[in-house]
Structure 1
Amino acid sequence: MKKMNEFAIKDEFLLNGETVKIISGALHYFRVVPEYWRDRLEKLKAMGCNTVETYVPWNVHEPKKGMFNFKGMYNIAEFISIAQELDLWVIIRPSPYICAEWEFGGLPAWLLKDENMRIRCHYEPFLQHVDEYFQVLFEQLVPLQVNYGGPIIMMQVENEYGGYGNDKQYMRAVANMMLEKGCVVPLVTSDGPWHDMLENGSIQELAFPTVNCGSNLKGHFKKLKEFNNGTGPLMVMEFWIGWFDAWGDAEHHTRDEKSAAQELKDVLEVGHVNFYMFHGGTNFGFMSGANYYEKLLPDTTSYDYDAPLTEWGDTTPKYEAFKQVISETTKIPEVAFSTEIIKKEYGEVQCKNRVSLFETLDSLSEPIYSDYTLPMEKLDQNYGYILYRTNIGKKRKIEDFRLVNANDRAHVYINQELKCTKYDLELPVQESFELTAEENTLDILVENMGRVNYSIKMEEQRKGIKNGVVINGAYQSEWQHYPLPLDNIDQVDFSKEFKEGSAAFHQFQFEVEEIHDTFLDFQGWGKGVAFVNGFNLGRFWKIGPQKKLYIPGPLLKKGLNEIILFETEGIYQDKIYLTDKPGS
């Protein structure tokens, strides 16, 4: 029989009445292949942590309304059970919104099919969706709480809500839903310590406040103590020990281990910590999010975060520095690592086949007609690309061509010849060009680069073309829509033709005798997305700073393997290279 425990928040964190020091690390199960969960958790414990923290992204667990997925990489109960086998406690952050540099902050894109939808506020249709999701999610979580013999000691309500709004009625509604669905462990909130964030995001009668920050921990703890009227433990729920990268950044963000270790020492002298991140992992598929302030900043596929463990699971000097600091507070356990992970150079792989998107379009998508352009969400499409097609008539001068209310990046073709590529702030800018053929077909391939995951721009994340396309001062009508979520990559017809300079699929095949980790070097390629044996590995883009895509060994198989690159810029090579050297 499992031992029943009680975790409580009084003047300190108490487990069965005894004071405990929480030393936790963030590790997101949905960013790591399941075969490596145990390895990453063992390394967490070996650094001296006694707790693991994870978000729970709604959009992967309910990808379509009423359809739930708790299998494979999304088997949260299995992840938590492995943590328990390793004698780790677990902090769960199951709020509808997680941020996490994750697509739409974890909110499912299908919410946006409702044109009146308001998110993260006391809007009844939104709360109804949350309630129905929680009904299923908490069936996974409730039995795993410490009170019932599991390892879960705390759950978080919402996430950094003070940086978004101050709707306390909404916050109380979410907290009460969690309690009604069976949460019996203490509830907490986490917010930045700046401006009004703590005040905006806290519901102290229901949840205990914690802070998120990366420096000046002593000063921020002082503010948190004052906010809590001098009572309760001090905890930094997100101790930012690195940072994430956006496409186009000058270089990979890093933070030196010495300053981070000193801040950690300051934290452990008076309080409790959760490293964000202990191990970042990978934004597989189309799940990387974006930030938007002055312009769109979409996140890279790598979520390395300059964490103590690299994206591919190696320990770092930061890991050793943190381990040393933690050893001054608690005894470091001896941990035998159970998973042998080897990097392998599979070498050069020649292209086997390639086909242009326009040639294989009908094998991938069935057109949907509408008199006016529809965004992805209206077509029940969440991620990927969408192609809009219409006949724009006879040869003539087009003096005013504009995309109205479009996101995020568009390739404009006339008779399948590229006219221009427009990105973010360029999308509504007027263009002019000459139509020279007797009849002219307009195609617009629009890419969803990842919905914004933080700030007020979250309300403006419908992808594709919402309002329409202006041709010489008037909206163009009669459109065929081709949704391209690329979840059917096996339907690409490589028997069709390839045209230079076009968006195209490129197929590579190679034999594997020994299955190990490897890295796809995409230098020499333009922009697109990679698939390994049908698995969406994530985006690549020549602008960096990321130059290679991590391929975990479990995605490969003995015998024949396939990599398909969908590349949109017409910039490609006749080969790819699989190397054992990570990084740039």
Structure 2
Amino acid sequence: MGVAEVVAGIVVLWLAVCTAAAAGSGRWRSEEGWGVQGEVTYDHRALVLNGTRRMLFSGEMHYPRSTPEMWPRLIAKAKEGGLDVIQTYVFWNVHEPVQGQYNFEGRYDLVKFIKEIQAQGLYVSLRIGPFIEAEWKYGGFPFWLHDVPNITFRSDNEPFKQHMQRFVTDIVSMMKHEGLYYPQGGPIITSQIENEYQMVEPAFGSSGQRYVRWAAAMAVNLQTGVPWTMCKQNDAPDPVINTCNGLICGETFVGPNSANKPALWTENWTSRYLIYGNDTKLRSPEDIAFAVALFIARKNGSYMSYYMYHGGTNFGRFSSSYVTTNYYDGAPLDEYGLIWQPTWGHLRELHTAVKQSSEPLLFGTYSNFSLGQEQEAHIFETESQCVAFLVNFDQHQISEVVFRNISLQLAPKSISILSDCKRVVFETAKVNAQHGSRTAEEVQSFSDINTWKAFKEPIPQDVSKAMYTGNQLFDHLSTTKDETDYLWYIVGYEYTPSDDGQLVLINVESRAHILHAFVNNAYVGRIHGSHDGPASIILSTNISLNEGPNNISLLSAMVGSPDSGAHMERRVFGIRKVSIQQGQEPEHLLDNELWGNQVGLFGERNHIYTQEGSKRVEWTTINNLAYSPLIWYKTTFPTPAGNDAIALNLTSMGKGEVWINGESIGRYWVSFKAPSGNPSQSLYHIPRQFLNPQDNILVLFEEMGGDPQQITVNTLSVTRVCSNVNELSAPSLQSQDNEPAVNLWCQEGKQISAIEFASYGNPVGDCTNYGSGSCHAGSSDSVVKQACLGKSGCSIPVTTDKFGGDPCPGIQKSLVVVASCG
């Protein structure tokens, strides 16, 4: 029996046993016979699991953006970082790429991913959507949905609702069949229907309002046994919970739309996704922590989810328009699964500080009052416990406040958490967690020209041999079905030269992302757009034509399909207008000439990026082909030793796609420089699971031109760690020590091999630029080396006793240590 038949059978089985939901209730009970009994409810303060309110920290991870072999370590590091929940979207277009044909294998094994989370003792928030956006191609919709007659996406439209309900039902039934909902003893405690619909709802008028009500009712009637949420949907119908997405939900969230619903934050953006042509924009750990603490303090927030906690890699062609192959590389766990410090460590301290005050936060009486013009206090208090959040909104000045007869200094834009409303246990603006520096070490070069082979992509010129012909310019995505980035437009042109030899100009207007133009097999130019640029790109260039017949071949290229906005099914892409102009004569429009369309590349159709497919073409040496457009390159390389993450450095290339042993590791575009002058992304992740024990086949399709001899294979690891802790800092909540300490540790498999710098006193600078100050304990270096060298981690108390006495009485002291890991 096929997967599709299995899913269909599950659906029938579960429709037979489902009963109607209790409308308007915030209570979901387990069904009879599930074995382990459980219940998920909610009230105005929190989600309630088996009768207990819970303070929950969650992190988003997407199973298709990593490999099954990576999942256990990613989940373990998330748990170690203080998370309780892993949140993920469900990706319709990977599971049903062809209508009625399901795929839950490999990276798409949703059940395996959820069971791994359960095995490590964490919960799951399942965001079924099925529209997800997520910087994922077509917003997660399979492209065949575009071709359903009379369909209007995300509206009160019967064809759309029918397909949406079928898929959501199939996923819910699969989860029930596997016993994965909490009332069944599984880890899933919430599900999400739709995604940020409020952003587009006005475009649909009353149809949008009806659709929201329908989607909510459809989801609830599936009887999952857990609450449903709608993010960025202030009018989410009862019992569905409206949740917040954004950077500062402590300020922007309007709050739950019902008195019995809790404040949940489903997306706290840990950075910004990167697009080609932009520089990386990281979000500081101080800012993330401030936002979380403010949401708890101001909104009584009890569920906070980081988007992303691990971003991963957009393998293949799954990124949306202009989005890079790496995804949220600056998240607490980076693209490769390495811990991104100090973000990961700073948030872990926050999670511990909050959870140790869970009782007053979840059950205490709340009050707040002003401490100054830009300062405020938020207190949660029971008869026996108290916690206070003291907020300073002033972004430039330290604020001195008095709270319950305690004098405190609040750092600029900070929140101090006071356990028992007396003792500072965490300050959002004071980062004591170690910093880490990720480095890329070259382990393989391809400088030997003899190791490379090349194949020149043929330029189609004959309209009669094209896949499709017509007297019009066809839409790009409607023609390719989004199964390739490329679509050729081919036309013939009869040219009669003028007597005065006037220049001939070709003008091409396209709504695709890149355009390459060839005339009689000769390359005449290209142009590309950008994420925030005009919708149309225009190529206007002089060309040489032969007297009589000429062949014009235009290659339209997309860098991902759209992922958001109203009426995606109506969007038009590709070449929209072509004209030839001779001198001052009127332009000759070619739009209604006989055009031929060729879908994709010859190399794609023949799978020449695979071992078998590569035998179908004749590869040559790369002499004189470097920096030429539309070239396929092939070579081999050995698997690097060890367990460090691996990446290709493609700085020398232009734009294209890379395959390792037939697996696409994604698009690259290093020739599109950011304002800094650097590529938006130059390193491209190769999961070790894509590699053979020894030799591996590397194939690139280079679209614009580059030098493959300068490509290198690199390993990535955290080779340098640093910490800067003040003697007045709160002790780490991860240890039993009563004094502040510098805590350093290397990633798994590495040890502290050298101490680059150590100073107890008043060192200057930070972990990137440091030096000794006017006060320096002479024993600093020896004390730190004795404590740390040769160990995977070490802890050094920031006390005078540890360093043999006070080197400078009356001066506030810190300890800065910079160490190498190897």
Q: TM-score, normalised by structure 1?
A: 0.87
Q: Deviations over 1:486-513 (max 9, x none)?
A: 3723335451567742311111201237
Aligned CA distance change for structure 1 residues 442 and 159 (closer, same or farther; 3 Å): same
Aligned CA distance change for structure 1 residues 474 and 576 (closer, same or farther; 3 Å): closer
Question: Offset at 1:15?
Answer: 0.7
Q: Quote the residue 2:469 is aligned against.
A: 370
The answer as to 2:552 corresponding to 1:422 is: no
My pick for the range that moved more, 24-33 or 165-174, is: 165-174
3-state SS of paired residue (2:146)? helix
Question: Offset at 1:17?
Answer: 1.4
Which residue of the other structure, out of 618, 629, 643, is the alignment partner of 1:502?
A: 629
Q: Quote the residue 1:353 is aligned against.
A: 453
3-state SS of paired residue (1:277)? strand
Q: Quote the residue 1:525 is aligned against.
A: 653
Q: Quote the residue 1:295 is aligned against.
A: none
Q: Quote the residue 1:478 is aligned against.
A: 594
Q: In 2, Cα distance between the equivalents of 1:32 and 1:438?
A: 54
The answer as to 2:74 corresponding to 1:35 is: no
Q: Quote the residue 2:638 is aligned against.
A: 511
Q: Quote the residue 2:564 is aligned against.
A: 454
Q: In 2, Cα distance between the equivalents of 1:232 and 1:180?
A: 19
Q: In 2, Cα distance between the equivalents of 1:345 and 1:430?
A: 42
3-state SS of paired residue (1:258)? helix
Which segments of 5 or more consecutive residues in structure 1 lack a partner in the other structure?
A: 192-197, 291-297, 333-341
3-state SS of paired residue (1:144)? coil
Residue correspondence of structure 1 range 257-276 to structure 2 within 5 A: 257-269=285-297, 270-271=300-301, 272-276=303-307
Contact 1:398 1:435 in 2 (8 A): no
The answer as to 2:254 corresponding to 1:154 is: no
Contact 2:37 2:185 in 1 (8 A): yes
Q: In 2, Cα distance between the equivalents of 1:386 and 1:115?
A: 24
3-state SS of paired residue (1:439)? strand
The answer as to 2:57 corresponding to 1:23 is: yes
Q: In 2, Cα distance between the equivalents of 1:513 and 1:307?
A: 26
Q: Quote the residue 2:39 is aligned against.
A: 6
Q: Quote the residue 1:237 is aligned against.
A: 266
Q: In 2, Cα distance between the equivalents of 1:577 and 1:130?
A: 45
Aligned CA distance change for structure 1 residues 169 and 206 (closer, same or farther; 3 Å): farther
Question: Offset at 1:370?
Answer: 1.5
Question: Offset at 1:287?
Answer: 0.9
Which residue of the other structure, out of 81, 98, 101, is the alignment partner of 1:64?
A: 98
Question: Offset at 1:303?
Answer: 0.4
Which residue of the other structure, out of 300, 306, 329, is the alignment partner of 2:324?
A: 300
Q: In 2, Cα distance between the equivalents of 1:253 and 1:157?
A: 30
3-state SS of paired residue (1:19)? strand
Q: Which has the higher contact order (CA 8 A, sep 6+)?
A: 1
Q: Deviations over 1:392-442 (max 9, x none)?
A: 234657866444563221111112211121324453465553313643222
3-state SS of paired residue (1:172)? helix
The answer as to 2:166 corresponding to 1:132 is: yes
Q: Quote the residue 2:209 is aligned against.
A: 168
My pick for the range that moved more, 378-387 or 569-578, is: 378-387
Question: Offset at 1:135?
Answer: 3.8
3-state SS of paired residue (1:35)? coil
3-state SS of paired residue (1:311)? coil
Q: Quote the residue 1:329 is aligned against.
A: 354
Contact 1:118 1:459 in 2 (8 A): yes
Q: CA RMSD in A?
A: 2.9
Q: Deviations over 1:378-402 (max 9, x none)?
A: 3544332122223223465786644
Q: In 2, Cα distance between the equivalents of 1:2 and 1:402?
A: 69
Q: In 1, Cα distance between the equivalents of 2:517 and 2:537?
A: 11
Aligned CA distance change for structure 1 residues 116 and 411 (closer, same or farther; 3 Å): farther
Question: Offset at 1:59?
Answer: 1.2
Aligned CA distance change for structure 1 residues 50 and 521 (closer, same or farther; 3 Å): same
Structure of greater Rg: 2
Q: In 2, Cα distance between the equivalents of 1:188 and 1:513?
A: 45
Question: Offset at 1:51?
Answer: 0.6
My pick for the range that moved more, 256-265 or 419-428, is: 419-428
Contact 2:92 2:130 in 1 (8 A): yes
The amino acid of 2:345's aligned partner reads: E
Q: In 1, Cα distance between the equivalents of 2:442 and 2:709?
A: 18
Q: Quote the residue 1:255 is aligned against.
A: 283
3-state SS of paired residue (2:334)? coil
3-state SS of paired residue (2:201)? coil
Q: Quote the residue 1:178 is aligned against.
A: 219
Q: Quote the residue 2:181 is aligned against.
A: 145
Which segments of 5 or more consecutive residues in structure 2 lack a partner in the other structure?
A: 1-33, 203-207, 358-438, 581-587, 673-678, 719-822
The answer as to 2:313 corresponding to 1:282 is: yes
Aligned sequence identity (%): 25
Question: Offset at 1:329?
Answer: 2.3
3-state SS of paired residue (2:659)? strand
Aligned CA distance change for structure 1 residues 76 and 437 (closer, same or farther; 3 Å): farther
Contact 1:172 1:206 in 2 (8 A): no
Aligned CA distance change for structure 1 residues 224 and 470 (closer, same or farther; 3 Å): same
Q: Quote the residue 1:293 is aligned against.
A: none
The answer as to 2:339 corresponding to 1:318 is: no
Q: Quote the residue 1:294 is aligned against.
A: none
The answer as to 2:597 corresponding to 1:564 is: no
Question: Offset at 1:214?
Answer: 1.2
Q: Deviations over 1:29-71 (max 9, x none)?
A: 1111111011111111111111110011211111122221111
Q: Quote the residue 2:793 is aligned against.
A: none
The amino acid of 1:378's aligned partner reads: T
Question: Offset at 1:188?
Answer: 0.7
Aligned CA distance change for structure 1 residues 237 and 245 (closer, same or farther; 3 Å): same
Aligned CA distance change for structure 1 residues 515 and 356 (closer, same or farther; 3 Å): farther
Which residue of the other structure, out of 373, 383, 391, is the alignment partner of 2:484?
A: 383
Q: In 2, Cα distance between the equivalents of 1:32 and 1:513?
A: 20
Aligned CA distance change for structure 1 residues 345 and 474 (closer, same or farther; 3 Å): closer
The amino acid of 1:310's aligned partner reads: D
The answer as to 2:515 corresponding to 1:410 is: yes
Aligned CA distance change for structure 1 residues 470 and 14 (closer, same or farther; 3 Å): same
3-state SS of paired residue (1:94)? strand
Aligned CA distance change for structure 1 residues 460 and 431 (closer, same or farther; 3 Å): farther
Q: Quote the residue 1:219 is aligned against.
A: 251
My pick for the range that moved more, 44-53 or 438-447, is: 438-447
Q: In 2, Cα distance between the equivalents of 1:224 and 1:19?
A: 19
Q: Quote the residue 1:205 is aligned against.
A: 238
My pick for the range that moved more, 561-570 or 513-522, is: 513-522
Question: Offset at 1:275?
Answer: 0.8
Q: In 1, Cα distance between the equivalents of 2:713 and 2:537?
A: 36
My pick for the range that moved more, 64-73 or 515-524, is: 515-524
3-state SS of paired residue (2:36)? coil
Q: In 1, Cα distance between the equivalents of 2:215 and 2:503?
A: 52
Q: Quote the residue 1:435 is aligned against.
A: 545
The amino acid of 1:136's aligned partner reads: D
My pick for the range that moved more, 84-93 or 376-385, is: 376-385
The amino acid of 1:453's aligned partner reads: D
Aligned CA distance change for structure 1 residues 378 and 139 (closer, same or farther; 3 Å): farther
Q: Deviations over 1:518-559 (max 9, x none)?
A: 110001111111111111111111222111101111111112
